[in-house]
A and B are shown apart, each in its own frame.
Chain A
């Protein structure tokens, strides 16, 4: 729960956390016995997989579920596969999880696969080894012949509140970002790189050797969707063609640093920078192997997770609350928050009072006060045609300010999922 600003007539401002408000250097946290990896593929019991319980795994090894599967994960530690099972994510998305029982620190064995290729950097071996790095670089964008990449955008900002991972890299490791950007330029042959940073990091960012763009410190200016619109609308000639994000590859600063470091050293960096927020709102910057269960992190800081508490992955506005204290750090987890059950703000299914607070804060001018009436009535088609449901960028700000405490964001999400399930082909027609 935050406090409402006293001066309500000034548009509610929520400031992003800046990196100097948190501890300067990350504290290393290690998994105790197990790590868990997520695969973006549904688990079908009985299906033949190329991974089996009992298989030994080396640190940095490329693990994929089936031979021809495109997606893979990198083992953050060496050990043995203990368990493979299914996981139901938000909105019914189905994943497969693979849990490794890890070897102790003295007996870690390294996979040599990447070592053999790192001296000849190319998009091909980047795609083969680096997609599982911290920051989750999407290297597939370079392999779409219909949509050739013309420029690269590097996000030195964090889209949700509290998280500071990318700002941390801009502030503390701009040279490493430069290395990463140079590597990307080299392997992709694309020269145009735009680095997006908050205003206060403008000076530091200059050393990256890229075009610098800054964003405002008020939420949700650092939302990737808004950033893209802003950058793209500057580039395209207004009124002639609508901006489109075709031809842009987006990377987080963390991913760029990881790519640079991988090619420089031959070792795959598998530690993730995460902002860990305890119940008393103390923030800690930690460096933790991908796959580490949140329970281990909480234990490292003597932070009890109790019955009814909320464990949030990914920030207070747009994150996901997980149902298990064994949930692992993912390649794109920037924030983990533990919220005491007594501090969970209440939501209710009140009717909308038409106070207009949501309309004032919506960054894309969705008439949320009307939208919510359609959504509560389940009239999703009208929500799209009359209230621009499809313009919503899912920042959650409307729910945050709603005086009737309506879970607006949840309604929006549900409506979008339902509509997406109804006409899966209707892309780009919104």
Chain B
């Protein structure tokens, strides 16, 4: 049964739904722009510089690691660019350039590449980088000191710091609507809540991020903040305030949902998200740090492999294809 021509022979399936890593990355980048562009508008050229530097250096680190480890060049999949983008979104606009470069180095090289690249990292690379930066160069990341040169039309003090030091009375001037519209100091792309929410919903609808994690993370924040608030409204800020300040939204939509370090089964996703939200509020309200999102994400990342063992039983355990 000879053939007159040479056909392509390969294994089924012969169709594919067309999804791909780069497609996902570009969609995430697009969604991020909704929050980043207002940030650049507010903070001007320094913000633009930080974003481009962060993305550029992240891609460069990835490329260098590809060369060093003799693996196929993977910058085309856009994952490094996403890491760079998310890192920049969490930084204050006027952060020194070398902090950005070190941050992207930690994220890409230590957070991801040493585990073998995409899909291998047990922690969210951006959260790893932010945690190390926050512990090492606290002052450069403190929004109050970093953004002191700007004249804002709103109270230029980080609302989380105010609430933590002086109680909710100090932040009663921050209306939720203002917080949502980004009238607060914060990271380049993490303070304009509306943009994050719209972008995040877009990503959830398209299935690029797992909605179960996002929603349970937000519910976790809301519910635990509500408990504190009901317990003593004079000491603890309202749940709405917690949802719209600090890294809450970027954490729920873009940090906790990082593929490699989060669970894929339904129940684990819900537990993972809720825990993340609760830890965030716990750290904020009774811990020593002002914002708890980064550490909360890292802690749930640790639990992820354990959580993801809770899965539905495979059907037909007594199979006959031995």
Choose among A337, A363, A403 the residue with the greatest number of B CB atoms under 10 Å from its CB: A403
Interface string of B308-322 (1 = CB under 8 A from A): 000111111111111
- Give every chain A residue within 8 A of B265 (Cβ-Cβ): 356, 359, 367
The CA-CA distance from A161 to B14 in the complex, in Å, is 11
A364 in contact with B1 (CB, 8 Å): no
A349 to chain B, nearest CB (A): 9
B320 in contact with A428 (CB, 8 Å): yes
A357 close to B (CB within 8 Å): yes
The CA-CA distance from A400 to B12 in the complex, in Å, is 9
The CA-CA distance from A301 to B138 in the complex, in Å, is 72
A310 in contact with B7 (CB, 8 Å): yes
A365 in contact with B1 (CB, 8 Å): no
A350 in contact with B17 (CB, 8 Å): no
The CA-CA distance from A264 to B264 in the complex, in Å, is 56
Residues of B262-308 at the interface with A, using a CB-CB cut-off of 8 Å, are 262, 264-265
The CA-CA distance from A306 to B7 in the complex, in Å, is 8
Of the candidate stretches A62-70, A72-80, A340-348, the one touching chain B is A340-348
- Give every chain B residue within 8 A of A403 (Cβ-Cβ): 19-21, 23-24
B6 close to A (CB within 8 Å): yes
Interface string of A303-320 (1 = CB under 8 A from B): 001111111100011111
B216 to chain A, nearest CB (A): 14
A27 close to B (CB within 8 Å): no
B8 in contact with A354 (CB, 8 Å): no
- Give every chain B residue within 8 A of A363 (Cβ-Cβ): 315
Secondary structure call for the A interface: loop
A354 in contact with B17 (CB, 8 Å): no
B149 close to A (CB within 8 Å): no
B141 to chain A, nearest CB (A): 29
Number of interface residues of A (CB under 8 A): 90
B158 close to A (CB within 8 Å): no
- Give every chain B residue within 8 A of A318 (Cβ-Cβ): 12-13
Partner of B7, one of A4, A36, A325, A400: A325
B119 in contact with A351 (CB, 8 Å): yes
A356 in contact with B210 (CB, 8 Å): yes
B264 in contact with A1 (CB, 8 Å): no
B11 in contact with A429 (CB, 8 Å): no
B4 close to A (CB within 8 Å): yes
A319 in contact with B8 (CB, 8 Å): no
- Give every chain B residue within 8 A of A242 (Cβ-Cβ): 318
Choose among B14, B117, B207 the residue with the greatest number of A CB atoms under 10 Å from its CB: B14
Residues of B1-46 at the interface with A, using a CB-CB cut-off of 8 Å, are 1-21, 23-24
B157 close to A (CB within 8 Å): no
Interface string of A5-35 (1 = CB under 8 A from B): 1111100100000000000000000000000
- Give every chain B residue within 8 A of A367 (Cβ-Cβ): 264-265, 311, 314
The CA-CA distance from A393 to B317 in the complex, in Å, is 11
The CA-CA distance from A352 to B259 in the complex, in Å, is 10
A327 close to B (CB within 8 Å): yes
- Give every chain B residue within 8 A of A6 (Cβ-Cβ): 205-206
A87 close to B (CB within 8 Å): yes
Partner of B8, one of A8, A310, A401, A413: A310
- Known A354-B259, A410-B11; further 14 A-B contacts with Cβ < 8 A: A310-B14, A311-B7, A316-B13, A318-B12, A320-B12, A321-B8, A326-B4, A351-B119, A364-B315, A367-B265, A393-B316, A403-B20, A404-B119, A409-B13
Cβ contacts A to B, 13 pairs, < 8 Å: A12-B17, A85-B1, A97-B1, A242-B318, A305-B7, A311-B7, A317-B13, A324-B1, A352-B119, A391-B317, A391-B319, A396-B12, A430-B320
